[in-house]
Amino acid sequence: MSVLTRNEAQTRAQLLDVHRYTVDLDLTTGEATFDSTTAIRFTARTAGDTFVEIKPETLRSLSLDGQPLDPERLDGNRYPLDRLTAGPHELTVAATMRYSRTGEGMHRFTDPADGETYVYTQLFMEDVQRVFAAFDQPDLKSVFDLTVTTPTGWTVLGNGVSTQAADGRWHIAPTPPISTYLVAVAAGPWHSVTTQHAGLPFGIHCRRSLAPHLDADADEILDITRACYDRYHEKFDEPYPFDSYDQAFVPEFNAGAMENPGLVTFRDEFVYRSAVTDTERQTRAMVVAHEMAHMWFGDLVTLTWWDDIWLNESFAEYMGYQTLTEATRFTDTWTDFGVARKGWGYDADQRPSTHPVAPDPDAVPDTASALLNFDGISYAKGASALRQLVAWLGEKDFLAGINTHFSRHKFANATLADFIDNLATATDRDVHTWADAWLRTTGVDTLTAHVETTGHSWNLTVDRAGDRPHRITVGTYDHSLDTHTGTDQLTLRDRFDIDIPQDGTPVTQPGHRPDLVVLNDHDLTYAKIRLDPGSWDTALTHLSGIPDPLTRALVWNTARDMVRDGELHPTVHLTAARTHLPYETDLALVQGVLGFAATQIADRYLPPQDRPTALATLTSLCRDLLRRTEGLTAKDWEQAPGTTTPGSPDPGLRLIAVRHFIDAATQPDAIQDWLREGTVPGGPELDAELRWRILTRLAVLGATDETAIAHELDKDPSATGQEGAARCRAALPTAEAKAAAWQAMFTDDTLSNYLFTATAQGFWQPGQSELLHPYVARYYPDAIALAARRGPAIAEAAGRHAFPAHAVDPDSIRLGEQALTDPALTPALRRKLTDQLDDLRRALAVRDAH
């Protein structure tokens, strides 16, 4: 198979003008394959040679302008169209195509809960070629007109409104011009909730076995959808460009969601079967808002080539968080962004694989290299850069520039240069220079505060390691005594903006020096922050007393990257968590800090002999949180999301404490009691997610067996149950269990992407290093062969979840470095391994630093 290069795409875009695809898919031809017939109408501007792409099981026939062509001439995924004459043409291609089990192309899933089958497409990058023949590149936009034949009882969803012409034969309304990677079909006996908004049909869909869970949240999901839709119409001059808005929650989906015009697909874990926190609801709302932003940025105006993926993703990410705060009950989204997303960007930006937010086009020569850029740089750093741009430009000018961008390039394509030129029309500021400094460079700047007292005033100087301009807010805080409670707290004295670099003179402020000076309060820029020593002492002792959660998030992020840089002992971070989290009210912060403490500090940064003590600290912290949230009634657990009474215990906080207590338990007794009783004392009652979580932990501890796992699977035979059982079985601390799990992951090529991931998640456990030691060396050759056989999605899962991430030792790193020289390594796995090895090196350096 050949990957498309940028040069080939440019040549083909100059030659061809594509008008219309008429596609006929027959989904009734068996479980392994489906039939695909495509007619493409296009014009060649001059005479020339080109090719069309398809990845068929069997290419049955082709014709050009009515003349048959020889199917044998297919070369990999390319069919040559030689000596094409100038003028209009029609190419028809008939083929048998294979269903996918990896979430790429036309994925087919049979629900173990009820035996119903569903199929959906994920055609991103170049997977349209797995479904029908196409000139597959983003800047050859066309009208798509699809007809789909299905078994009776199915519904077909597509980019446009779908109608059933005869039994099982569905026609989808033709699209306006869109890119090949954005075509979508989802077919099956969907459960649907439909409504109308602003004169358009809106629908949400899921498989039937999840129907009660979708129904329970339908109002919430549709309210968010309507609120975002209305807010985008206030921001954008161009109206929503498509004829309907469907959101389908589909099984075994690899990403969070995909922005197909008129038919967004989401992973169906977003249809919550078990109790979730309000932060998780906010995440779902954020994904709804993110994907809808893509309808304009990505779908209406599309990147010309894949080097500008960041422009799509950064924009949608920024707009998603910002629009939620403006239009919905989730008004604190930037705290979650600070805690859950920014670290992803900072981490990626400090690895050897980092790249500029906007890479040089030459650095993205083909689709395989473009696929590597779906990372913390393109999403989190890019969105942080846009947030800083808005702080610097002002939102009014930013939106004016965006609207110019939409009106100039609608239903067409644009580049970064177009985007910057369009922004420049709206402001006097030098956007081109800003873009060079922020988008064309790599790495994280560090801003360090120096505070000194001078008589009746104090001075602030900010040192900058790095070259970017920053506009930041400085927050100053003082101790005060709450006379009612007798407790010490921090109150805000002042906030002011400064530009960095400073012009050579320090900022002078009246009065004594504040107890705490916070750089980048409001978190408007993207940089590492180092407080002055006095402020750092105040922060460590009074972190939970800082009034604004976004400021607390910033201080926690500072502590986090000081640990990663070897500047703060991991146990100091753990002690701060033990001290302050019991008083933390922001769920995203509790979740984020506990997650880092458990998976990084306890599992990686501390030497193995210190891990039991760290886990004991975490379980006692969780017990504290459980005590703080006692007294919840059954009614509290059932009440509408987001309606917690201020001052009363938060069920979400209790749920986080329960989950982390389970994951950190070193003795089986307490959680075994919970499982037997079916409830945590004082609630919650255990739902399927918590039962599987406990059973997984018991498996890790060797306190359960196959009989108990099989019994649990009888009670929950759903797809999630199958994943839970696979995770438990792989976690059992026996040589037989590990051998069976390894065999399944690396030799069974029918294993779905989701069952692969669940097995991998169970397999590696930091407390089982002796048992797992032989697999560290086996991992590299087995993963390299697997990635070559099964493609990018499985390569990603193998690199992320099946990697021996707890083998923090020089031997393991050496094995990995040798593997990087293997010529059989695919680009997707190489990137994953490079990053994982860098994380291992960093963990080793943190251990060595103290």
Strand partners, 263: 246
Residue 170, Ramachandran bin (φ over 0: left; ψ between -120 and 50: alpha; else beta): beta
Q: Which is nearer to Zn ion, 333 or 600 (CB)?
A: 333
Closest CA to 338 of 623, 557, 516, 615: 557
Q: What is the footprint of Zn ion within residues 181-200 (CB under 5 A)?
A: none
Least distance in angstroms from the C-beta of 344 to Zn ion: 14
Q: Is 28 helix (H, G, I), strand (E, B) or coil?
A: coil
What sections of 297-366 are H helices per DSSP?
309-327, 333-336, 342-349
Helix axes 587-596, 278-296, angle to 10 degrees: 100
Task: Name the residue nearer to Zn ion (CB basis): 300 or 846.
Answer: 300
Does 311 contact Zn ion by CB under 5 A? no
Q: Which residues from 274-303 bind Zn ion, rule CB under 5 A?
A: none
**CB nearer to Zn ion: pick between 249 and 775:** 249
Which of the residues 53, 252, 291, 796 is marked catalytic? 291
CA 693 to CA 274: how far, in whole Å? 12
List % helix, strand, coil for the chain (3-state, nearest 5): 50, 25, 30
* Shortest Å, Cβ 256 to Zn ion: 8
- Binding window for Zn ion (CB under 5 A); candidates: 207-215, 311-319, 676-684, 842-850: 311-319
Exposure string over 545-559, b if 16+ CB within 10 A, otherwise e: bbebbbbbbbbbbbb
- Measured from the CB of residue 316, what is the shortest distance to Zn ion in angstroms? 4
Count other C-beta atoms under 10 Å from residue 183's C-beta.
25
CA 703 to chain centre: 34
Q: Is 339 in the site for Zn ion (CB under 5 A)?
A: no
Residue 241 CB, shortest distance to Zn ion, in Å, is 17
Question: How would you class 723 by CB atoms within 10 Å of its CB: exposed for 0-12, middle for 13-18, buried for 19 or more?
Answer: buried
CB nearer to Zn ion: pick between 316 and 837 = 316
CB closer to Zn ion, 310 vs 674: 310
CA distance 69 to 728: 53
Could you tell me if 297 and 515 are in contact, meaning their C-beta atoms sit under 8 angstroms apart? no
| Burial of residue 610 (number of CB atoms within 10 Å: 0-12, 13-18, 19+) | middle
Binding part of the chain for Zn ion, among 198-206, 316-324, 413-421, 806-814 by CB under 5 A, reads: 316-324
Helix (H) or strand (E) holding 555, with range, is helix 549-564
Q: How far is the CB of 286 from Zn ion (least distance, A)?
A: 11
Cβ atoms of 581 and 590 within 8 Å: the answer is yes
Q: Provide the minimum distance between the beta carbon of 364 and Zn ion in the complex, in angstroms, as a whole number.
A: 17
Could you tell me which stretch among 45-53, 312-320, 399-407, 480-488 binds Zn ion (CB under 5 A)? 312-320
Q: Strands, E, within 100-215: which ranges?
A: 105-110, 117-122, 143-149, 155-158, 162-166, 169-172, 185-188, 191-197, 200-206
Cβ 820 to Zn ion shortest distance, Å: 30
Smaller CB distance to Zn ion: residue 260 or 619? 260
The CA-based diameter of the chain, rounded to the nearest angstrom, is: 92
Give one DSSP letter per residue of 663-678, joined into a string: HH-SSSHHHHHHHHHT
- Report in angstroms how near the CB of residue 203 gets to Zn ion at its nearest: 21
Phi-psi region of 465 (alpha: psi -120 to 50; beta: other; left: phi over 0): beta
Distance CA 414, CA 439 (A): 17
Is the Cβ of residue 316 or residue 690 nearer to Zn ion in the bound state? 316
Contact pattern from residue 372 through residue 391 relative to Zn ion, giving x for each residue in contact according to CB under 5 A and a dash for the rest: --------------------
Q: Considering only 309-317, 591-599, 633-641, 801-809, which stretch makes contact with Zn ion by CB under 5 A?
A: 309-317
- Identify which range of 305-313, 605-613, 748-756, 802-810 contacts Zn ion by CB under 5 A: 305-313
- Residue 316 lies near Zn ion (rule: CB under 5 A): yes
Q: Smallest distance, Å, CB 258 to Zn ion?
A: 8
What is the residue type of 65?
D
Nearest residue (CB) to Zn ion, 316 versus 760: 316
Q: How far is the CB of 255 from Zn ion (least distance, A)?
A: 8
- 620: CB partners within 8 A, 6+ apart: 578
How is residue 302 written in tokens? 């599309």
Tokens representing residue 300 in the block: 């209406």
Number of H helices, E strands in the chain: 28, 28
Stretch (H or E) spanning 719: helix 719-731
> Catalytic site residue 291?
yes
Closest CB to Zn ion among 241 and 651? Answer: 241
Report the residue number, 313 or 796, with the smaller CB distance to Zn ion: 313
* Nearest approach, Cβ of residue 259 and Zn ion (Å): 6
Sign of CA pseudo-dihedral 756, 761, 762, 764: positive
Report the nearest approach of Zn ion to the CB of residue 290 (Å): 6
Please list every residue from 416 through 475 that binds Zn ion, using CB under 5 A: none
Q: DSSP assignment, residue 178? A: B
Can you tell me the distance from the alpha carbon of 813 to that of 841, in angstroms, rounded to the nearest whole number?
A: 7
CB of 287 to Zn ion, least distance (A): 9
DSSP secondary structure code for residue 100 in this structure: B
Window of 143-151, 310-318, 331-339, 448-456 that interacts with Zn ion by CB under 5 A? 310-318
Measured from the CB atom, is 250 or 516 closer to Zn ion?
A: 250
| Number of residues engaging Zn ion in binding (CB under 5 A) | 2
Nearer to Zn ion, 257 or 451 (CB): 257
Q: Which range in 109-117, 162-170, 308-316, 389-397 contacts Zn ion by CB under 5 A?
A: 308-316
The H or E element containing residue 634 is helix 634-638
Closer residue to Zn ion, CB minimum distance, 278 or 313: 313
- How far is residue 412 CA from its own chain's centroid? 27
Distances (CA, A) of 730 to 391, 560, 736, 737: 49, 31, 10, 6
Residue with CB nearest Zn ion? 316
Quick one: which of 519, 303, 330 has its CA closest to 414?
303
- Name the segment binding Zn ion (CB under 5 A); options: 102-110, 133-141, 306-314, 707-715: 306-314
Q: Is the dihedral of CA 677, 681, 682, 686 positive or negative?
A: negative
Binding mask 56-75 for Zn ion (x = CB under 5 A): --------------------
Binding segment toward Zn ion, per CB under 5 A, in 138-146, 194-202, 313-321, 698-706: 313-321
Binding residues for Zn ion, rule: CB under 5 A, are: 313, 316
Query: Which residues are catalytically annotated?
Result: 291
